[in-house]
Structure 1
Amino acid sequence: MTTLNSTHDPARRSWIESANLPGADFPVQNLPFGVFERDGKARCGVAIGEHAVDLRALHDAGLLDGDAALACAAAGGDSLKPLMSMEPRYASALRRALSDLLRSDAPQLARIQQRADALLPRLADVTPRLPCEIGDYTDFLTSLHHTERHGRYKGLADPLPAAFKSLPIAYHGRASSLRVSGGDVRRPHGQYRDAHGEVRFGPAPALDFELELAALIGRGNPLTQPVPVDAARDHIFGYCLLNDWSAKSIQWFEQVLGPFLGKSFHSSLSPWIVTGEALAPFRKPAAPRGAGDPAILPHLHGALDQASGGLDLELEALLSTARLREAGAAPVRITQTHLDNLYWTFAQMVAHHTSNGCNLRTGDLLGSGTISGAADVSRACLTELSNAGKNPLALPNGETRTALEDGDEIVLRARASRPGAVTIGFGECRGRIAPALELNYPDAPVRHEEPHA
C-alpha cells in the first residue's frame, strides 16, 4: 500500500513558478511520467508546471544516485517500458529525488538552474508521444448507468447483462490504433443500417466520444499466475485519460461477439501518466454496492481494495465546434462526472483479467469503460447526452448535436482533489473529427434472378 510521504507535502512548492499556479495540473506533488519528441528525438520525461524534465539529460548531469539513478537510467531511452517493468520502488525513488530537486529550497538548486535549458524544455516546445509500445488493450464496461442506458436504447428486456454485477465485463480492443492526444480523428467508413433499415457502406453517420480513465500495466504476471486483488496496484504503473471514440452506427449493426470496427479506428490517450503514488492522498473506499446486489466473490474481494480502491477524481468532457471557434467562443462543458460512477475498481479489473491465468505484460492498457453516472450532466457520451438521438444536445450558440460532426473537437480533463491536499490534474486528451477519406469502390454486383420454371 502506498503511504503518504514528503512528495505529498501540501506546503511544498517548486522553484518552477508555473507549477505553483492555482489550478496547475502538474504541481510538484504530481510529477507524471511521459514521452515527448525534442529536436527530432523521443525522450522520457516528467511534467512539472509548464515544463518537462528531460530524464536523459538529468541522468547525464549526474545529479542522482542509488535507486533513483538506476530508474533514471532505465528511462534514458525513447520508451518508459524499461522503467515500468521494474519493481515499483525504483519509480518511487526517482519521484522522491525529482521532488527534492524541484522544490523551492532544493540543495542543488544552483547546479540545476545552470542546466535548465537542457533539463527543462517547455511543454509548448515539445511534441507528446505514447509512453511506450502498447501490446494489448482491454476495454471494460464498468458503469452501471452507462450499461443500463445503452441496454434500454437497444430495446433489451433486461438492459443490464446478467454477469454485470458478478464480474467486470470487458472486450479485447485494438492496440495498433491507439494514439496520443491531439491531431485529427478521421471519420471511419463501415457498414450500418440507414433510417429505412437498408444496409449501407460509407462514412459513419453516428460518431461519438466516450470519457474513460485508463491504467497502464507496469510489471506483468507469469502465464497461469493470477494477480490477487490486493496486490493489483503494484502492477499498475499509472493512469491516463482515454477517449474511446466510437462509431455507434457501425458498432450497433456489427456487434455480435463484441465491438470491432466501430471501435478500432482510433482511440486517444492523454500523454502524461499519473502514478498511483501521486494519487495516494485521494484514495477512498470503493464505491458502495446497491442493496440486494450479489456478494463479491473471494477472488475479487480484498480488504485493502474495499478500504481504498476508489479515488476522489472528477472528470469532464468539453465540446468545441467549428462555429464556436470561428466566434472566438470557449469549448462548452457537456459532461461532468466522477470515478465513483464505476461499479468495479481497477484492482478488481486486474484481478479478474488474470483470474484465468492470463498474463498481463508491461505496457498493456486497461480502459475503465465510459464513466457515466445517474445525473444528466454525468452522461459521458453523446449517445446518452442526446437520449440516443431523441433529445438533441443544445449548445449555447443554437447548434445541436446527436452525434459528432466534422470539425467538432472533444477535450477530456480530470482532476484529483481532497481538502488538505494539493489538487493534481491529468492534462488534456483532445481530438478533432476530420472528414472521411474519399474511397472509390467498384459498383456493387448486379443480382441476377433465376427465370421461373
Structure 2
Amino acid sequence: MSAYLIPAADASFIDVPADHPFPIQHLPYGVFRPRTDAEPRVGVAIGDQVVDLAALANEGLFDHEALAPDVHPFRADTLNAFMALGQPAWRATRSTLHHLLREDTPTLRDNASLRTRVLHPQDDVSMLLPAAVGDYTDFYSSREHATNIGTMFRGPENALKPNWLHLPVGYHGRASSVIVSETPVHRPCGQRKPDDDAPPTYGASQLLDFELEMGFYVGTGNALGTPIRAADAESHIFGLSLVNDWSARDIQKWEYVPLGPFLGKSFATTVSPWITPLDALEPFRTDGPDQDPEPLDYLQPNDHANFDIKLEVQLQTPELDTPYTISQTNFNYMYWSMRQQLAHHTVNGCNVRPGDLMASGTISGPTEDSYGSMLELAWRGTKPIQLPDGSERSFLHDGDRVVMRGWAQGDGFRIGLGTVSGTVQPAQPLDA
C-alpha cells in the first residue's frame, strides 16, 4: 500500500499560517486530556487545535474496517492499541482525517455543535506521554558525533571503533524514565571519578548534558525469532518524535567500561508529545551519506532512506529572557538510517512491540555550530558556549532550560515535529 500523501495545495477550514508546524499536510498524533477531570484520549493536531479522535469515533465518522465498532483505539491513554493495528489502519485514518478537515468538506466546518465536541484549543488541554514505551533503544548513528567523541577520548587516528562503519551501534536504554516534554529533570547523582589518582566519590553530576536525537516508534512488531527485513522496516514504523537523551558525562565516563551506558543515561529521556506519521515526511526523503564499506546484504536497500529535517537546540538560562540558539543541524546527516537500525535490531530474532522507542543517537553536523551536545559544542569544556548576556556554559546549570525543535520545509507549508523542552532542577541526593 503506497503512502497516503496530502497535496501541498490542500487547505483546512481551520486557519493555519504557512509557517505553523501543524498544517493539514501533517496531522501528528498525541494523547491529551481536555480538562483535569476528563479521561485521556487520542488526538491529532491541526493548527492550534486538537482533534478529539474518540469524539469522532463516537459520531461514527471512521467507517473503515480496521476501526470497526468493537475496536476503540482512540478511547485510550496511549497510542499503543492504534499502533498495533498496522499501516493500512494508520493510512485509512489519515485519509478520513484529511477529508474531514479539508476546507471544502462541510461535515465539521458547518456543524458548530459537532466542532465544539471534537475540537479543543491546544492551550486548554494537557498533553501526555504518547505511548507506553515497553523498550527503549538508543543508537549511535551520527558519524560526525561518533568521530568527535572518539577524537576527544582516543585521538583522531582511533576515533571510530572497528565495527562502527559495519553496523548501527546501539544499547538497550531505560524505558521507565522516558518522559514527555516540559517535565522537569532533576540533576542525577551517582559515582564520579574526576581525579584519576583518587578514589571515586558520590554526588551530583557536574557535567550534565543534552543530546539532540530523533526517535521513531514501532507500530506493528515481529514474532520472536523472525527478523524484519530492511525493505519492510518502514511498514513497522508508526512515526517520528524529537528526543532529548539527557546525559551525565562524569557518571557515564566512570561507569561505561566495559558494558556501556547505565546511570549516566537512565535518569531521563524527554520526548515530544506529538508523533509525526512517516507518510507526512514522504516529500522530504533524501539519500543519506555514502556508506563505505558497503553494508552487508541484510542492511540493504538503503536508498532514499533519510529525511531532510532541520533541527535546532536553544538554551535559556535563568538570566536570559528568551531561549538562545546554540546549535542548528539536520537529520539527513545520519550515517545509519532508521530502516537499517530496525533491520539490525531484529536480525538476531529480537522481537519488537507496539510503542517501542528507538532513538538515533546524538545528531551532529560537520560544523562546530551543528553539534548536537554540549560535550561537543564546548569541546569537553575547553571552548565554553558564549551567551548573549556575557555568561558562558560548558555544561548545564540548575535552572537552565533546553528547547529542541525540528521541521521539514515544504512549498507553502511546514511539517514541525513539535517542541521538546525540559528545565534542570537541583539534585535530590540520598541525604536530602
AA aligned opposite 1:422: F
**Is 1:150 equivalent to 2:149 in the alignment?**
yes
Q: Tell me which moved more, 36-45 or 60-69.
A: 60-69
- Seq. identity, %: 41
Contact 1:406 1:435 in 2 (8 A): yes
Q: 1:214 to 1:96 in 2, by over 3 A?
A: same
Contact 2:310 2:408 in 1 (8 A): yes
Partner of 2:210: 209
- Which structure 2 residues correspond to residues 165-314 of structure 1 after superposition, within 5 A? 165-194=165-194, 197-198=197-198, 199-256=200-257, 257-289=259-291, 293-302=292-301, 305-306=302-303, 308-314=304-310
TM-score, normalising length: structure 1: 0.91
Q: CA RMSD for the aligned pairs?
A: 1.7
Partner of 1:390: 382
Q: In structure 1, what is the Cα distance between the partners aligned to 2:197 and 2:406? A: 39
Deviation (angstroms), 1:81: 0.8
Residue-pair matches, total:
426
SS in 1 for 2:104: coil
- Structure 2: stretches of 5+ with no match in the other structure: none
Q: Tell me which moved more, 39-48 or 210-219.
A: 39-48
SS in 2 for 1:428: strand
Q: In structure 1, what is the Cα distance between the partners aligned to 2:65 and 2:182? A: 34
AA aligned opposite 2:104: D
AA aligned opposite 1:273: I
SS in 1 for 2:44: strand
SS in 2 for 1:431: strand
Q: In structure 1, what is the Cα distance between the partners aligned to 2:160 and 2:412? A: 37
Partner of 2:8: 10
Partner of 1:344: 336
Q: In structure 1, what is the Cα distance between the partners aligned to 2:59 and 2:80? A: 22
Contact 1:67 1:93 in 2 (8 A): no
Q: 1:338 to 1:29 in 2, by over 3 A?
A: same
AA aligned opposite 2:172: H
**Is 1:429 equivalent to 2:420 in the alignment?**
yes
Q: In structure 2, what is the Cα distance between the partners aligned to 1:254 and 1:438? A: 19
SS in 1 for 2:315: strand
Q: 1:168 to 1:261 in 2, by over 3 A?
A: same
**Is 1:101 equivalent to 2:100 in the alignment?**
yes
- Structure 1: stretches of 5+ with no match in the other structure: 442-453
SS in 2 for 1:373: coil
Q: Tell me which moved more, 252-261 or 53-62.
A: 53-62
- Give the greater-gyration-radius structure (CA): 1
Q: In structure 2, what is the Cα distance between the partners aligned to 1:242 and 1:180? A: 10
Q: In structure 2, what is the Cα distance between the partners aligned to 1:97 and 1:74? A: 15
TM-score, normalising length: structure 2: 0.95
SS in 2 for 1:277: helix
Q: In structure 2, what is the Cα distance between the partners aligned to 1:219 and 1:421? A: 33
Q: In the TM superposition, what whole-angstrom CA distance separates every residue of 1:302-334 from its partner, at most 9, and x where no partner exists?
A: 1xx31x201111111100000003xxxx21111
Among 352, 356, 375, which residue is 1:360 paired with? Answer: 352
Partner of 1:323: 319
Contact 2:18 2:412 in 1 (8 A): no
